[in-house]
Chain A
Amino acid sequence: MAPITKRGIFLSFCAAFAAYSTYVWTAGTVSERSLPPSRQAMAGQALYQEKNCIACHQLYGLGGHMGPDLTNVISAPDKGADYARAFIENGTGKMPDFGLDEAQVDALVQFLEFVDSAGIYPPRQPEINWYGTVAYDAGRNAQ
Chain B
Amino acid sequence: MEQSHTTPAETPSNAETSNDVGLRFMLLGLAALAAALLLGVVGAFKFLYPEFMEGLPFHKIRPLHVSLAVSWIFLTAIGGIYYYLPNFCGLSLFSGRAARWHFWIFVVTGLAILGAYLTGRFGGREYWEFPPALAVPIFLTWIMFGINYFRTVVKLRTAWPVYLWMWGTGIVFFFVSFSESYLWLLPYFRENMVREISVQWKSYGTLVGSWNMLVYGTAIFVMQKIGGDEDVARSKMVFGLYFLGLFNLMFGWAHHVYPVPLAEWVRNFAYAVSMTELFILGKIIWDWRRSLSTRRKFRHRRPYRFLYAADIWIFINLVLALLISVPALNLFIHGTHVIVAHTMGATIGINTMILLASVFFVIEQRVGEGAENRHAGLVDAGFWLANGSLVVFLAALLAAGLVKGTYVGESFYDMMESIEPFLLLFAVSGVGLMLGLWLVLLPAMVRIGALVFPRG
Interface status of B101 (Cβ within 8 A of chain A): no
- With A and B bound together, what is the CA distance between A54 and B126 in angstroms? 7
Hey, what's the 0/1 contact readout for B314-339 against A, CB within 8 Å counting as 1? 00000000000011111100110100
Q: Is A31 within 8 A of B195, CB to CB?
A: yes
Q: Is A119 within 8 A of B194, CB to CB?
A: yes
Hey, what's the 0/1 contact readout for B335-350 against A, CB within 8 Å counting as 1? 1010010000000000
Please provide the chain A residues from 108 to 143 with a CB less than 8 Å away from any CB of chain B in the complex: 114-115, 117-119, 121-123, 126, 128-129, 132-134, 136-137, 140
Interface of B is mostly: helix
Kindly provide the distance from the CB of A3 to the nearest chain B CB, expressed in whole angstroms.
5
Q: Is B335 within 8 A of A49, CB to CB?
A: no
Interface status of B124 (Cβ within 8 A of chain A): yes
Query: Chain A: which residue is nearest B172 at the CB level?
Result: A14
Q: Is B159 within 8 A of A55, CB to CB?
A: no
Q: Is B59 within 8 A of A62, CB to CB?
A: no
Please provide the chain A residues from 39 to 87 with a CB less than 8 Å away from any CB of chain B in the complex: 42, 45-46, 49-56, 58-69, 78
- With A and B bound together, what is the CA distance between A33 and B191 in angstroms? 13
Q: Is A28 within 8 A of B259, CB to CB?
A: no
Please provide the chain B residues from 4 to 45 with a CB less than 8 Å away from any CB of chain A in the complex: none
Kindly provide the distance from the CB of B200 to the nearest chain A CB, expressed in whole angstroms.
8
List A contacts of B337 (CB < 8 A): 65
Kindly provide the distance from the CB of B344 to the nearest chain A CB, expressed in whole angstroms.
12
Q: Is A94 within 8 A of B239, CB to CB?
A: no
Interface status of B453 (Cβ within 8 A of chain A): no
Hey, what's the 0/1 contact readout for B165-195 against A, CB within 8 Å counting as 1? 1000100000000001001000101111111
Q: Is A31 within 8 A of B193, CB to CB?
A: yes
Among A3, A60, A126, the most chain B Cβ lie within 10 Å of the Cβ of A60
Q: Is B263 within 8 A of A55, CB to CB?
A: no
- With A and B bound together, what is the CA distance between A128 and B274 in angstroms? 18
Kindly provide the distance from the CB of B197 to the nearest chain A CB, expressed in whole angstroms.
6
Q: Is A132 within 8 A of B326, CB to CB?
A: yes
Query: Chain B: which residue is nearest A32 at the CB level?
Result: B261
- With A and B bound together, what is the CA distance between A20 and B269 in angstroms? 11
List B contacts of A24 (CB < 8 A): 198-199, 202, 262-263, 266
User: If A60-B197, A133-B328, A137-B264 touch, does A49 touch B122 (CB 8 Å cutoff)?
Assistant: yes
Q: Is B412 within 8 A of A134, CB to CB?
A: no
Q: Is A62 within 8 A of B197, CB to CB?
A: yes
Q: Is A52 within 8 A of B129, CB to CB?
A: yes
Q: Is B191 within 8 A of A137, CB to CB?
A: no
List A contacts of B286 (CB < 8 A): none
On chain B, the number of residues with a Cβ less than 8 Å from chain A's Cβ atoms is 65
Kindly provide the distance from the CB of B415 to the nearest chain A CB, expressed in whole angstroms.
9
Query: Chain A: which residue is nearest B191 at the CB level?
Result: A37
Q: Is B122 within 8 A of A25, CB to CB?
A: no
User: If A45-B190, A52-B129, A55-B129 touch, does A61 touch B412 (CB 8 Å cutoff)?
Assistant: no
- With A and B bound together, what is the CA distance between A45 and B196 in angstroms? 11
Q: Is B159 within 8 A of A17, CB to CB?
A: no
Q: Is B259 within 8 A of A29, CB to CB?
A: no
Hey, what's the 0/1 contact readout for B247-258 against A, CB within 8 Å counting as 1? 100110000111
User: If A17-B250, A67-B412 touch, does A28 touch B331 (CB 8 Å cutoff)?
Assistant: no
- With A and B bound together, what is the CA distance between A6 and B202 in angstroms? 25
List A contacts of B432 (CB < 8 A): none
Say which residue of B122, B201, B247, B251 sits within 8 Å of A52 (CB atoms). Answer: B122
- With A and B bound together, what is the CA distance between A65 and B327 in angstroms? 21
Say which residue of A1, A63, A136 sits within 8 Å of B239 (CB atoms). Answer: A1
Say which residue of A37, A42, A55, A93 sits within 8 Å of B63 (CB atoms). Answer: A55
Kindly provide the distance from the CB of B379 to the nearest chain A CB, expressed in whole angstroms.
33
Q: Is A54 within 8 A of B125, CB to CB?
A: yes
List B contacts of A134 (CB < 8 A): 258, 327-328, 330-331
User: If A6-B165, A24-B202, A132-B271 touch, does A58 touch B262 (CB 8 Å cutoff)?
Assistant: no
Query: Chain B: which residue is nearest A111 at the CB level?
Result: B193
Say which residue of A6, A54, A93, A140 sits within 8 Å of B261 (CB atoms). Answer: A140
Interface status of B236 (Cβ within 8 A of chain A): yes
Q: Is A62 within 8 A of B257, CB to CB?
A: yes
- With A and B bound together, what is the CA distance between A1 and B234 in angstroms? 9
Q: Is B194 within 8 A of A62, CB to CB?
A: no
Q: Is A55 within 8 A of B195, CB to CB?
A: no
User: If A21-B202, A55-B58 touch, does A133 touch B327 (CB 8 Å cutoff)?
Assistant: yes
Among A9, A55, A64, the most chain B Cβ lie within 10 Å of the Cβ of A55
Q: Is A61 within 8 A of B335, CB to CB?
A: yes
Closest 9 CB pairs of A and B: A61-B335, A118-B193, A29-B195, A68-B412, A55-B59, A31-B194, A28-B263, A52-B122, A134-B327
For this complex, 7 residue pairs linking A to B, each with C-beta atoms less than 8 Å apart, are A3-B160, A10-B243, A13-B246, A20-B251, A29-B198, A59-B197, A133-B271
* 20 more CB-based (< 8 A) A-B contacts, given A29-B195, A36-B191, A42-B190: A23-B263, A24-B262, A29-B198, A29-B263, A31-B194, A46-B123, A49-B123, A49-B125, A55-B63, A62-B197, A62-B257, A118-B192, A119-B194, A123-B331, A128-B327, A132-B328, A133-B268, A134-B330, A136-B259, A137-B264
Which residues of A does B touch, CB under 8 Å?
Answer: 1, 3, 6, 9-10, 13, 16-17, 20-21, 23-25, 27-34, 36-37, 42, 45-46, 49-56, 58-69, 78, 93-94, 96, 114-115, 117-119, 121-123, 126, 128-129, 132-134, 136-137, 140
